[in-house]
Chains A and B, each alone.
Chain A
Amino acid sequence: MPALDSGDTAWVLICTALVLLMTPGLAFFYAGMVRAKSVLSMLMQNYVCIAVVSVVWVVLGYTIAFGADVGGGLLGGFRFAGFAHMTEPVPGYELSIPPLLFAFFQLMFAILTTALISGALADRVRFGAFVIFASAWALVVYSPLAHWAFSPSGWMVKFGILDFAGGYVVEICSGASALAVAMVVGRRHGWPREAMPPHSLPLTLLGAGLLWFGWFGFNAGSALKADGLAVQALVNTHMAAVGGLLAWIGMEKLRNGAATTLGAASGAISGLVAITPACGYLDTLPSLVLGLIAGGACVLAVQAKYRLGYDDSLDVVGVHFVGGVLGTLFIGLAATASVNPAVVNEGLLYGGGFGQLGRQAVGVLAATAWAFAVTYLLARAVNAVIPLRVTEEEEATGLDQALHSESAYDFGSVRSMGRIG
């Protein structure tokens, strides 16, 4: 075990706090997009993930993800259950930070990934059922996939698949899971015939800003050191966000005639999503290009739900799944050892051939199949015991009143319930 480095430790401590802030940021990003009558339920689904996933992660999730492999690179063993033996090195890692800090930094990823799914469930899911689903999901879907793609003994890592900060584990995983659970829960009443426009875009823009800020910790912190690679990851993260924003609003202007604030926020997030797996393997300009591609592709991808008929209310699939796929595959095109010596096989554009692209594609298929199938079964199982869906009357009233006995905006009249038309 290498000596502890105070600079590295300080950096990852800060990044842990940055990544925690992403979940409230996500909460407001989402909450602005839902209707005024279910804002609090959306915020609550995100905040409760902070609580329940923390418990799940400490008790079992961490050891499944990062414990010594028990066979085939599929699962970690139980030595670190309950955060026991945390002075021992993390299996497979050469860390210059305390193992407990690594475990806690990774907790913030588990929280955010679980919270991301709530975007597919706006306005119609019972709170108690969501709590149970989210707890179980973090354990049975997220933790094993984190072992596969993050732990050095995971089969995806051993196979040579690269994922710097969570393209498979966070983005594809949450996107494919969101699709599965949205299919189990069903559409909101009236969707897509009835207009359900965002109730407060300023909240969404504020949330996107907090996400952008926190994403520096998410991606640059994944270097697990305060070094040049962390700096490159941070620069790449920012440039991809910039590219996503510009591409999305540019496409909007061409297609719909107006560049929108929701488009700017969505575009920045799509760039951030796409760069997540790739930020530690790319040069600066390819990162900008990846952001541009992601923004341009996601603005088209969010239309698919209308054709396919699933109510992924806030576009977790169109942004996180599609952005995650683009980012993980882009590694196969543009990863370079000049940025990160961990790149054994350079990307196609650097003369590395199709090898890495193929491996990345295997990762896409595996992560998608795992997350979709297990989440679908889990959601069906939870639904059979405790129905996920609220009653039609509760949905019409709004979940804030029906489930939480509160309302977000007390203007003393029915005007807060919605506008005429």
Chain B
Amino acid sequence: MRLVTAVIKPFKLDDVKSALEALGVQGMTVSEVQGFGRQRGHTEVYRGAEYTVDFVPKVRVEVLADDADAAGIVDAIVGAAHSGSIGDGKVWTVPIDDVVRVRTGERGADAL
């Protein structure tokens, strides 16, 4: 099993969600995050004084998946989140040892 994590532009969330639903993904976790990569932040000016806001708002999407499905999910997210401009974000996967469904106690792939 793998955990697919994507940090994307907030306005791309609906596209990513639709793409994952089309792929048959059953669930996801979404959170608002802030950070910077190559995009860096932005500048605000108050009475001529410039302030750099270093961290840019982003959305983090997390999906647990079977090993066989992970690559397809990554491709779907990349396809949906792509705008071609700097700051589109990143997607990565990590291996997961175990998953438990809290309600039933099911473990492993059954819990996905």
Q: A: which residues have CB within 8 A of B? A: 192, 195, 197-198, 252, 255-256, 258, 260, 262-263, 266, 299, 302-303, 306, 315, 420-421
- Other-chain residue from B45, B54, B55 in contact with A256 (beta carbon distance below 8 A): B45
- Other-chain residue from B45, B47, B49, B55 in contact with A421 (beta carbon distance below 8 A): B55
Using A420-B34, A421-B34, A421-B54 as known contacts, say yes or no to A299 and B48 having CB atoms under 8 A apart.
Answer: yes
* B44:A256 contact, CB within 8 angstroms: no
CA distance A36 to B62 in the complex (A): 33
- Apart from A192-B49, A195-B51, A256-B50, what are 6 other A-B pairs with CB-CB below 8 Å? A255-B48, A256-B45, A256-B48, A302-B47, A421-B53, A421-B54
Please, which residue of chain B has its CB at the minimum distance from the CB of A299?
A: B48
- For A252, the chain B residues whose CB sits under 8 A away are 45, 48
Please, which residue of chain B has its CB at the minimum distance from the CB of A305?
A: B49
- Other-chain residue from A192, A195, A262, A420 in contact with B47 (beta carbon distance below 8 A): A262
Would you give the shortest CB distance from B56 to chain A, in whole angstroms? 9
- For B48, the chain A residues whose CB sits under 8 A away are 252, 255-256, 299, 302-303
- For A258, the chain B residues whose CB sits under 8 A away are 45
Q: Which of B45, B47, B48 has the most CB of A within 10 A?
A: B47
Near A by CB (< 8 A), chain B positions 19-69 give: 34, 41, 44-55
CA distance A212 to B6 in the complex (A): 50
Would you give the shortest CB distance from A164 to chain B, in whole angstroms? 28
- For A256, the chain B residues whose CB sits under 8 A away are 45, 48, 50
CA distance A299 to B48 in the complex (A): 8
Please, which residue of chain A has its CB at the minimum distance from the CB of B33?
A: A420
- Other-chain residue from B44, B47, B51, B54 in contact with A263 (beta carbon distance below 8 A): B47
CA distance A315 to B48 in the complex (A): 12
- For A262, the chain B residues whose CB sits under 8 A away are 46-47
CA distance A198 to B51 in the complex (A): 11
Please, which residue of chain B has its CB at the minimum distance from the CB of A248?
A: B47
Please, which residue of chain A has its CB at the minimum distance from the CB of B34?
A: A420
- For A195, the chain B residues whose CB sits under 8 A away are 51-53
* A421:B46 contact, CB within 8 angstroms: no
- For B50, the chain A residues whose CB sits under 8 A away are 256
CA distance A258 to B53 in the complex (A): 17
* B51:A197 contact, CB within 8 angstroms: yes
Would you give the shortest CB distance from B39 to chain A, in whole angstroms? 13
- For B46, the chain A residues whose CB sits under 8 A away are 197-198, 260, 262
